[in-house]
Structures are given as C-alpha cells and as structure tokens.
C-alpha cells in the first residue's frame, strides 16, 4: 500500500484508525497477496482516491458501493465508476439511465465519475481493494471495519449529508448514520437483477438529493 494518496483532512480524521491492529492486518493481507503474484485492484495510488478527491469537510453526498470492479483497467477508487475508455458496467449504465429519466441528463460517453467526487459526492466502496477476477476477495481482510468507521465519523462529525443507500448491503449501513442529523435515501440496487424487477428505476434520487441540498442553501450537484 505504498504511494497511496489521501487528502490531509481525512488523514487527521482517520489517524486513530490507521493505528489500529486491524489496519495493520489489511496491509499485511495485501502484501501477502502481492508476494504470491496476485494482481490487486485498484493500483496503490488510487486505493484511497475517494478520500483524496473529496475532502472530509466537503462531503455533501455519500454513495456506498460494495466492492471494487475486478477487471483490468476498471477500478480507480470511486464506487460504480470506471476509468475513461473502459466500457460501462451494467449497474453504471442503469445509474445513467435513471439520471436521464430523472433530470434529463444525456448518458455520458465515459463512466468516469471523478467529476462527481470533486463536487462533494463521496464515492465509497465498503471494501477498497480486490484481487483481479475475484469478486469480494478482500471483503474479510478488515476493510469493512475501516469503512464502517468512516461512515460513523461522517455521521458524528458532520451534518446535513445525503446518504444514498442502494441495495440490501448498503441499506444495512443505515444503522451507522444519525437520521436526525443527516438525510438517508434508500432504493434497490442499480444492478440489472434488481433494476429489472422495478426496485431501482424511478427512485429519483438525483433530483431529491439536489432538492435537499438546495433547501439547505448548498449548491446542487451537476450530475
């Protein structure tokens, strides 16, 4: 995990977590996999891309994913996002379809959501790394403990954040969020399995998020 990039604001907030024994175990697990010749995604400098792109005090919206994409060139440290030139995965296609239906925004050519992150949309995966072609391969090495702490710190130290929890896994994280201080919107997951059953399309989370932000005197997200 050398050469990771993370904004100074997050370093301060998470200083205690980085000192915990479980975080040492995360680093040891990744190092062990690398020594065994396994390829880890995303690349080291991008593991904390969400934290580097969206400073702690600028988080306006949180979107929670589960696991980084495990195909070459896909994952770059922002949930649901892929790098420029990489085909959009089905869940991301459905996110863009709902965005078009909700706000009339044309489906973009690129699936890179970096522009969202730079506006205050914190694109957090519950697990921050994965072994190539092995979904959820790092779900048990300690990342979930770390990202639960991240959500808890946002809940306790900030106010007025819009949390978008899509699908059963994300909805379970609602228990970490103070609903009196923050806004929690839930729906089905944008994956085809859920979306095609009617649990995703029509949730209007993008317009609802902007309405909440504008009511609070904040600028809306340019989705």
Look at residue 77 and give its three-state secondary structure: coil
User: And the tokens for 18?
Assistant: 């980085």
Is residue 148 part of the annotated active site? The answer reads no
Query: Residue 61 phi/psi, 5° resolution?
Result: -135, 140
Q: Which residues is 123 bridged to in the sheet?
A: 63
Token pair 């990202």: residue: 147
- The full length of the chain comes to 223
Describe the crossing of helices 21-35 and 143-157 by its angle, rounded to 10 degrees: 140
Question: Of 67, 84, 148, 178, which is the active-site residue?
Answer: 67
Peptide bond preceding 42: is omega within 30 degrees of 0, i.e. cis? yes
Contacts (Cβ under 8 Å, ≥6 apart) of 191: 90, 91, 94, 167, 200
86 alpha-carbon distance from chain centroid: 18
Identify the CA nearest to 154 among candidates 223, 55, 20, 77: 55
137 alpha-carbon distance from chain centroid: 17
Catalytic residues: 67
């Amino acid at each position: 995990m050398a050469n990771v990039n993370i904004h100074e604001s997050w370093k301060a907030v998470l200083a205690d977590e980085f000192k915990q024994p479980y975080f040492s175990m995360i680093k040891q697990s990744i190092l062990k996999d690398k020594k065994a010749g396994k390829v880890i995604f995303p690349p080291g400098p991008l593991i904390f891309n969400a934290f580097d792109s969206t400073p702690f005090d600028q988080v306006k919206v949180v979107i929670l994913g589960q696991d980084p994409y495990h195909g070459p060139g896909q994952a770059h440290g922002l949930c649901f996002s892929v790098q420029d030139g990489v085909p959009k995965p089905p869940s991301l296609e459905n996110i863009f379809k709902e965005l078009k239906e909700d706000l009339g925004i044309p489906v973009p050519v690129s699936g890179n959501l970096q522009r969202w992150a730079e506006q205050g949309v914190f694109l957090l995966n519950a697990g921050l790394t994965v072994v190539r072609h092995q979904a959820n391969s790092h779900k048990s090495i300690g990342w979930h403990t770390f990202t639960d702490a991240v959500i808890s710190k946002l809940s306790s130290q900030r106010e007025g954040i819009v949390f978008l929890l899509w699908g059963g896994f994300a909805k379970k994280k609602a228990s970490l969020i103070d609903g009196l201080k923050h806004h929690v919107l839930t729906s089905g997951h944008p994956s085809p399995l859920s979306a095609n059953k009617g649990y995703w399309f029509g949730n209007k989370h993008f317009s609802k998020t902007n309405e909440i932000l504008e009511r609070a005197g904040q600028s809306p997200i340019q989705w």
